[in-house]
Structure 1
Amino acid sequence: MLTGCSKNPVTAAEPEIEKVERFKVIGYLFADGDLLVKPATIDFNKITHLNIAFINPDASGIFAPVKGLAELVKKAHQQQVKVIAAIAGGNPPQYLKDLLKPDKRKVLVGGLIQLTRTYNLDGIDVDLEGDFVNEDYEAFVTDLSAALKKENKLMTAAVATWNSAAYSDKALALFDLINIMSYDQTGPWRKDKPGPHSTYEAAEADFNHWNVLRNIPAERLILGLPFYAYGFGADIPESLTYGEIVQLYPGAEKVDLWELPGKGTFYYNGWPTLQKKLSYARQKKAGGVMIWQLLGDAGGALSLLNAIHREIEN
């Protein structure tokens, strides 16, 4: 998936070209359940990285076995897809804050390294958000980066622009790839603020923030794309996947909202907006795009992943 993230000097020209030019498609997949069953519908030929979200330790820093992960990694590697374990998440266990502290950090880092060895993973995705990006974040990222580099593994991150001030330049410089979570500008937690949660304008602003204001090279930035909808209204679900939206409402794939008169409105990204975001990312020479999350897609002709792949191949 990322053949050129090694910091070691290379003499051959081709790997360097691939490092710069290969456009990445990173898809997140939930870690719950049997990882051999759920991804059966995912076409690995259309992604470059698979991030398993979320694999967290217990309060002592121990990682429990993950059913089906070893087999999934083997299947992905057979199709040249890299697999990365994403830790933390939007609603992580609070004890992770303790594991980031100096007296426990070594145990957490050691556990993560062992996780990559056990399942032959290609790296770790640090998805610490909100107040988890605290005074211990930089030191944790520094220690984890050093340990992963010794194993020739990747370290990536998921970041939110609203929380940018919490990320130090030193920490950001250590990540091989940075996934910009350009979505969730509103949602069910803000019922008083109904509306779109992932506009094209926000994608432009988010990318510009990290690329220009935070001075991160475009090739290390990955623009996040949502495969889900939020519903605002008294008589509709708070959330649906893109696949559910287009199955329920023919033609929904062509627009970014679907109103049910007297009930409420769903907001999401239809193909025209995702296509525009994809074109923008390529124009800016971004490292690629990230999908949250793969199982939110539709099948067949309405698949966003298929459409992204066709666009990239053209």
Structure 2
Amino acid sequence: MMMKTMMRRNTWLAILMVVLMCSCKKSARSEVKINDDKKPVAAASFRVMGYLREYNVVDGRAIQFDFSKITHLNIAFINPDAAGNFTTLNGLTELVAAAHAKNVKVLASIGGGLAPEYYTDLMSTGDKRNKLANSLAAVADQYNLDGIDIDLEGHFVDGNYEAFVIAVKAALKPKGKLLTTAIATVYATQYTDKALAQFDFINIMSYDKTGPWKPERPGQHSPYSMAVDDLDYWGGTRGIAKEKLSLGLPFYGYGFGSGVPEDMSFADILKQYPGSADKDEVTVAAGGTMYYNGVPTIKSKTTLALQKAGGIMVWQLLQDDAGSNSLLNTIDALVKAAKK
């Protein structure tokens, strides 16, 4: 009896050990599977924002855009008149509906590199700032926009800028609308920390280091090194969380010297100079050179942004090539691979 009892006990112990071992293996396999399937937080929420021009809303080109490869769309530029009043933009309601159907958020961008000079006056006093801020909130409501993007540069970032963005934030926040900005590092010292804290995210214009306005300084206007320096400055020196930063990429180039246009879209560069997709510059027989970002550089910058930022920003979407060398397709492929 004792021998049989011991044998039974040993048998049950053996079975129990097998069950425990199988359970541990199953648990380990489950844990590995969960970890493998888990998407990195940064990649899962990574933004791909692009700008389209307001006149392309009116002419219908904007609504024909494939929204599936972006997360946010800025319409540039929707500016008021000198009194701070906005006029109707035909086609914007339909564009917003089409974008929303693809889960893309749409914002109205104000200002621009050639912003109307009267912005200085519109931001000059509390009453004027509040009027403009409330008008912007009303525009967001009128077109069912998801927010407002402020692209004011140079002398517009003055002593009234901080108070203005605070007023816009106060007008938008109760409505659940976004407030974003496009900034250039060349004006870095003009942006106060308090002003920057108002924005949900910040698009770094990491381009236009030089251009036709500086013919004496020919060269690459958007080198990879500039992207590195810009992200290091805003994320490091200024301490802005990387999730709030979007790295700006150009879909255009600038020409210097004889035989090249002053500026060209990436699509036109490929048409004019066959075989240029994988380069960053093309020198023509007359001696001039066209500088831009080709596919390899866009890949490198997108990889950098996935590591050190929360998104990509593109100026501007309709300058892209529609064929196999599409820069947006290049970005999309890398972002989707990072999410797997």
Considering the TM-score relative to the shorter chain, is it more than 0.5?
Answer: yes
State the match for 1:223 in structure 2.
Answer: 247
* Distance across 2 between alignment mates of 1:80 and 1:41: 16
The reply on whether 1:151 has 2:175 as its aligned counterpart is yes
Report how many aligned residue pairs link the two structures. Answer: 297
**Structure 2 residue identity aligned to 1:50:** L
The reply on whether 1:190 has 2:214 as its aligned counterpart is yes
State the match for 1:120 in structure 2.
Answer: 144
State the match for 2:85 in structure 1.
Answer: 62
* Distance across 2 between alignment mates of 1:279 and 1:34: 31
1:1-314, aligned counterparts within 5 Å? 21-35=44-58, 37-102=60-125, 103-284=127-308, 286-314=309-337
Q: Match of 1:135, SS?
A: coil
Q: Match of 1:178, SS?
A: strand
Q: Match of 2:81, SS?
A: coil
In the TM superposition, what whole-angstrom CA distance separates every residue of 1:233-277 from its partner, at most 9, and x where no partner exists?
Answer: 133210000010011212111000011022410000001011001
In the TM superposition, what whole-angstrom CA distance separates every residue of 1:84-130 from its partner, at most 9, and x where no partner exists?
Answer: 00000000110111001123112111110110011000000010100
TM-score normalised to the size of structure 2?
A: 0.85
* Distance across 1 between alignment mates of 2:167 and 2:263: 38
* Distance across 2 between alignment mates of 1:34 and 1:279: 31
**Structure 2 residue identity aligned to 1:203:** A
Q: Match of 1:240, SS?
A: strand
Contact preservation (8 Å) 2:209, 2:221? yes
Q: Structure 2, unaligned stretches of length 5 or more?
A: 1-39
* Distance across 1 between alignment mates of 2:300 and 2:177: 32
**Structural RMSD (CA):** 1.4
Identify the range of structure 1 (250-259 vs 28-37) with the bigger mean alpha-carbon deviation: 28-37
TM-score normalised to the size of structure 1?
A: 0.92
Contact preservation (8 Å) 1:99, 1:105? yes
**Structure 2 residue identity aligned to 1:297:** D
Contact preservation (8 Å) 2:63, 2:95? no
Contact preservation (8 Å) 1:36, 1:71? no
In the TM superposition, what whole-angstrom CA distance separates every residue of 1:198-234 from its partner, at most 9, and x where no partner exists?
Answer: 0000100001000000100000000000000100013
Identity of aligned residues (%): 50
Q: Match of 2:84, SS?
A: coil
* Distance across 1 between alignment mates of 2:283 and 2:238: 38
**Structure 1 residue identity aligned to 2:74:** N
1:18–1:148 CA distance, 2 compared to 1 (3 A): farther
**Structure 2 residue identity aligned to 1:293:** Q
Q: Structure 1, unaligned stretches of length 5 or more?
A: 1-16
Runs of 4+ in 1 over 3 A off after TM superposition: 17-21, 33-36
* Distance across 2 between alignment mates of 1:142 and 1:40: 32
Deviation, 1:147, is: 1.0
